[in-house]
Amino acid sequence: MNNKENELNQNRREFLSKGVAIAAASTFAMSATSAQANTATAGVVSSVAATDAPKSVSGYIKDPQILKDVLINAKKIMDTCAACDISGAGRCNGKGSCGETVPGMGGKRKSFVRNIEAFEEMSLKLQTVHTISQPKTEIELLGVKLSSPILTGITGGLTYNMGAANKLAFDGETMTEEKYARGIIEGAANSGCLGWAADGIGDPLETFKRRMAVVSEFRGRAVAQIKPRTQKEIFERLDIVQDVGAPFFAIDVDSAGRAARALPGKTVEPKDLKKLKEIVNYAKIPFIAKGIMTPEEALMCAEAGCGSIVVSNHGGRVLSSTPATMHVLPSIVKALRDRGYKMPILVDGGVRDGGDVLKALAYGAQAVLVGRPMLRASLGGGVKGVEMQFARFHTELVSSMVLTGVADVRNVDPSIVMQEV
């Protein structure tokens, strides 16, 4: 193991040790009085940090102009992610120094790595004898027009999951969840796409409201996610999401297994068909179920009336040895289309460039969610960093379409993809 890996592992151990100490302090505080229990949450890192002066970070690149500089900045502020630069800025493949830590950027054994490898095993068929020079990348998703079939991944908790809490960001201001959300949402909106504001398992309602305040500034051009909480808690948050003008929302049902990490009083749970229907019936905007990995559950979501699904294994971070999302996508698409369901099908997990976007479309997805590259872009470059990341993906997507003879992202022939032999 080289010196750099030793340093990264030591930083990660220190961060996780601090997290254990903080959680223990929080549990003691919650047992003292009920009033304290109402305020002690997974955001305890933020509340503890708020009593200290922000920690300065040396070596930032001010006003980064290229994605490599954005990635350098992201490395500086994160403790649990090595921000690997593998064949291009931010091309994380799950094999770096992050190991298998969760929370953080690690995966659960092979699940995360399989997402990446599934794309790497697919080749695009080079075809240049045609007249397509300006392919169309625009789509409409649940009533929202997008410049390309790309949304940010649903990522939050960057201050306490990534070790960025109470640190000064590259612009000299303290990194906060709201600051991160603004980078994601405004950067996506400026790129003609959509960014997600995320809910955290242990986040109190007030924290959620602060993130939704960012969404409200981009009415119709920002979307929100809610954890699979109790129905009552979901409806409470959904009222807020609808009030701030989000055109649709998601619940990451693949977070249900993380109940063991929720603090007392913070419940997440699986959702059966009955509960899915209750959510659909309560909502005034389309509901996207994220974390669908089987045709059977995709059909249940369709039966419940969900507006869309995201084929996702939570970035390979919640269950060991799941298949890659791209390995199950075709069977899910077939099951829904064979039964006449026309709902948009989205996919995430391992999307690292515009060529990957095109592969996902060829396999039947209507759009993709991009997580790790976008979160690093926001942490390392703010709004401008996210804009640069979207621009890179769009340029690569257009180039891939020209070089495979694809005229429109809404009609991608599966034959352009070849499996590696």
Between CA 211 and CA 141 the distance in angstroms is 23
Please give the backbone phi and psi of residue 140, each rounded to the nearest 5 degrees, phi first.
-120, 125
pLDDT score, position 315: 86
- 129 has pLDDT over 70: yes
In 3D, which of 125, 143, 229 has the Cα closest to residue 194? 143
194, two tokens: 């959509």
Mean of per-residue pLDDT scores for the chain: 85
- What is the tens place of the pLDDT at every residue in 63-88? 999 999 999 999 899 887 777 765 45
pLDDT score, position 80: 76
pLDDT score, position 14: 45
**Rounded mean pLDDT, 343-350:** 96
pLDDT score, position 150: 98
Percent of the chain with pLDDT over 90: 68
**Rounded mean pLDDT, 191-198:** 97
- 55 has pLDDT over 60: yes
- 278 has pLDDT over 90: yes
Between CA 49 and CA 205 the distance in angstroms is 19
- 13 has pLDDT over 80: no
Between CA 25 and CA 122 the distance in angstroms is 48
**Using 50, 70 and 90 to split pLDDT, how confident is the model at 33?**
very low
pLDDT score, position 294: 98
Whether 237 and 208 have beta carbons less than 8 Å apart is answered as: yes
pLDDT score, position 91: 64
Amino acid in position 324: A
**Rounded mean pLDDT, 80-105:** 62
Output 349 or 26, whichever has higher pLDDT. 349
Between CA 308 and CA 345 the distance in angstroms is 6
- 366 has pLDDT over 80: yes
* Cis upstream peptide for 103 (omega within 30°): yes
Q: Where are the beta strands (DSSP E) in 172-243?
A: 196-197, 223-226
**Using 50, 70 and 90 to split pLDDT, how confident is the model at 335?**
very high
**Using 50, 70 and 90 to split pLDDT, how confident is the model at 354?**
very high
Output 12 or 394, whichever has higher pLDDT. 394
**Rounded mean pLDDT, 224-251:** 97
Sheet holding 308-311, edge to edge: 150-152, 367-370, 345-348, 308-311, 287-292, 249-252, 223-226, 196-197
- 20 has pLDDT over 60: no
pLDDT score, position 159: 81
pLDDT score, position 266: 66
The size of the chain, in residues, is 421
Structural domains of the chain ordered from first start? 139-419 (3.20.20.70)
- 352 has pLDDT over 80: yes
303, two tokens: 């039966």
pLDDT score, position 320: 78
Lowest mean pLDDT among 148-152, 305-309, 321-325: 321-325
